Structure 1
Amino acid sequence: MSQLDFDAPLSQYFFEDVSEHLKSNEIYNLDDLMDLIYINDNNWWKSLHLEKETANGILKWLYDHRLEGVELPDSVLKKAIELTKPYYGHKIGVVAGAQFTEVVNPETHFKKVPQRAGFMHSERSQIVPLESFKVPDLFNGREGTNRGDKANCQLSAEDDLQAIHSWLKARGKNQNTQAAYKKEAERFLLWAIIEKRTALSSLTLEDCAEYLTWLEMLGRSSDETWGARWNQPQSTWLGPKNTTRSSGAWRPFSSALSYSSRKIAMTVVRQLFSFLQKTGYLKMNPFDQISPKIPLLPGEGKPKEYADRSLSKEQWDEILAYLEAMPESIQKARLKVILLLGKGLGMRCSEMINARSSWIAARNIGGSSVMFITVIGKGDKERRLPLSNEQVKMISDY
């Protein structure tokens, strides 16, 4: 199947009114659209001011083209799979020449998001959005141990929160980018103050190295495992999804972060610290000494490409049964040898093509004569593969 052109104008794939609307929001191609979805997860459509049915239509279209290069974040993929159900409770619009029928399941149409149990008032009062956050004087960073020479600082910021706002202003006017960067900076600042009890500008290399581990464990650990490592319980950080920022139940996270979300989180924080160092606000960037590699956790990632082409045992049984039912001929003998060399011995295509009968020879192993085929593989390296009497006969018959 051909791959989509992620740099082509969106008008190549979507109706004009949809592509023009996306273009007005600085989304010019599929690459831009995928970046936005990875940054904003399930809220990507809100930042574009799309109607829900149009957003569902775009998501359905992306899901239908997942074999042509589209890879959706886990949370968005889950939503896309819901759109394929026959009684999904929201309208799906027309976006790319395909008519998606509106069907409503009354039992799920008005489904409410349950409130997460376990929020304590004291925790709730600490965790608020960036625009409402009052940093304790002890942790505001005015005297941060990593603060640069104030006389040479290019920022007018007096404390860490002001420095973050200066960085956000420098990120450009794109609202989607601003929202994504603000979310990650907000999460990191809250983590530094409430979990680490340290000003952002006083964090050490060891402190910063812990942030990725914290993100990996959040929402995945038992309370006992979590409590043995971290100061604040997970309920401090996790709240109901789609809660308004003005709500007392708002939390920085609604679930465990996927691989792509952790990667974005660490990239944004690295860029924040790089900016603060280059402008002289910080003396050094601790993330410069921390590996940028984001590991996959158990169950994440996808199988290698070749694994998707593997045959099941039942499929192999059917192939072998078909082969045995063929009339005896040179073609049947050749197919048997091909399966022997490829499936039985694991030889590469190039090795099978170049194989010679002279490569087969008997060797004395432990007092017994064993037949081997010596193969010249990649890098001109030799390897010997043992052959049974039945396999030798199969080759001789051919």
Structure 2
Amino acid sequence: MLARHQELSRRRPCGGTQPAPRQPHEATRPMSDVDVTRAKAGTSARRAAAASRRLKFFSTQRVGLHQLAYLRGLAEGLEGAELAKRYLGIDHAAQLARVHRETVELVRAVARRSGHRKWRLIGIEIPAAAPAPTDGAQALPTVSQWAEEQGLDDWGEDELLTLFQERFADQLARPPSDPQQARREARNQALREARLELLKDLQNTVVEAATPQDDVAAWFSGEIVRRLRVAGAVTLGDLQARIRRGGRWWRGIPAIGAGKAQLIAAHVQRLLAAAPAAALPADAPRCASLSEIGTAGRDLAALGRGGANRAPMREYRVLQADTDVEAVEAWLKVRCTSKKTRISYEREMRRFRLWLWGSRRHALSDATVEDCQAYIELLRAVPESWMSSRNVGPGEPGWAPFRTQPSVPSQQLAINILAGAFGWLRRTGYLQDDPWEAVNRRLGDADDDWESDDDVDDPTTRAFTPAAWAALVDQVAIDAAQPKTAAGAPRMAWLLQFCEATGLRADELLRARRGSLVQRDGLWRLRVVGKGRRRRRIPVPRRIIELTRSYFDSRGLDFNACDRRTPLLGATTATDQQITYSALSQAFKGLLRRAAVRLPPDDAQVLRGASLHWLRHTHGTRSAERGMSANDIQTNFGHADVRTATGYTRAQLRRRAELIEEAFG
């Protein structure tokens, strides 16, 4: 037994003290399971360091089947790199060494806590088994198998090994003249068997199957857990739902790109492959799956002929529609004066009708007050199964009604659109009553929603603060000196100043031409055709006209002599051509991201979430702060109702706080 103790003490546990570096003269040997702890030769120090900084995905608190499968494969002599790629999602040598060590340490700790006396066998180096016998030779049984066959279970280990060596001396890899080597190989075989039995027992006793309700901290390392939680993925179910949306689901998770996202998705798939779907809370709003609803066009087209809320006498109705589809189409034709408006209205109506039919088995003309209230609750927390980022059309595989959880302003807009549609259908006689009149359509009236109410009603919260505006202006100046951004800097400089002074909508700005700017009595005006094809004239300050002249000069155009059809805002490649909305939005988002680094973290996060429309809100806010009346703001904006402009008469929170501090501080 002393010899056995000395032999085991010479074996190095994986993850323990690091071995001395191999000397150049040492001969190479076949790869064993401990070799996976070493970075492969040829990897440069820089690549290895970069790889080691990648996320530590699989440092976990629990032992999973994938980890035991990896260790079992190593114990059976399979190639370590392939096992790590299959079971752990690791394909880089630097990662492989670290993750192997952490996996061994975790499983050994769990085995030790579970009372397994042989826990040290996990991860130790055991020389490979002797080569398999050649053709015609009889394969050796294991020591334990031979002892069981011979009825020698009660014999001591040393005695068994001696008898085994004598019985199979001719078949051992080493010649009979080397009994010590034969004894060592037999002992190694016994250790390999004991390790496999230990892993099998752990699989049956300590392995915990992952569930969607598990905290991500149980299956990921602390580094990635912090990043996932920042993005709202607290449980494995949250993360799985985000992945199932498709598209670039990892956007918004710090320091996660396409490559790391692929590893995370594969790991979640392994963990939850056999997990049951999470049950909805008992009080959750009923929302049928899209498979229950079917294709929207096929199932919803004929609905509404016998709707419970249909006006009874057709001859007295102004609208002569027979089905809900016909009625909705008539509403869209009357109310939508632009393609953009029609897309928005049609989308909200489609969502509501899909939910009505799939979850309540009601047509549009069957909708009740309870249906409307339940749909408002649905908008507050859209089920994950109803969201997808895949760029496909309605009814196509992978499509879902929502792309993300709607913000509070988006929820309010959807409610307003639906309420307006039902009001119109009632006024035209298609519906007998309007169920939306009986529900509270104003979001944020509840005590716990006061913050959302502020976001909905106060457009000044979506205006650039003075600090953010200064950061944008400074960033444009920096961009002008950088080769990569110099071409677009004049356009962005003009965009900021022109939109702050005029408050144009993005589509109005893109349609504006040189001929839209006219001078009368020494004053410049911009002729605009806005929403509802309403025409208006916006005064343009002389300073902005001079900036426009300079901007035209940067494009190689003469402001006074150029074609009247020349866009005010041009593309960088073809200066006399109109820029598209997507290109302008992308360029503006890039400016926001670059400028955000100049602000405190909270302000930077707000700035990164801004959009082109914030320029319009900024104009309204600055106009109100400088004494312009609500009626004048309404006229400049082209709003049909002056109440829409009254929101800008409230000073920004920062300005109000300064006034309160000055008065009472």
TM normalised by structure 1 equals: 0.41
Q: Which has the higher contact order (CA 8 A, sep 6+)?
A: 1
- Please tell me whether Structure 1 or Structure 2 has the larger radius of gyration of its CA atoms: 2
TM normalised by structure 2 equals: 0.25
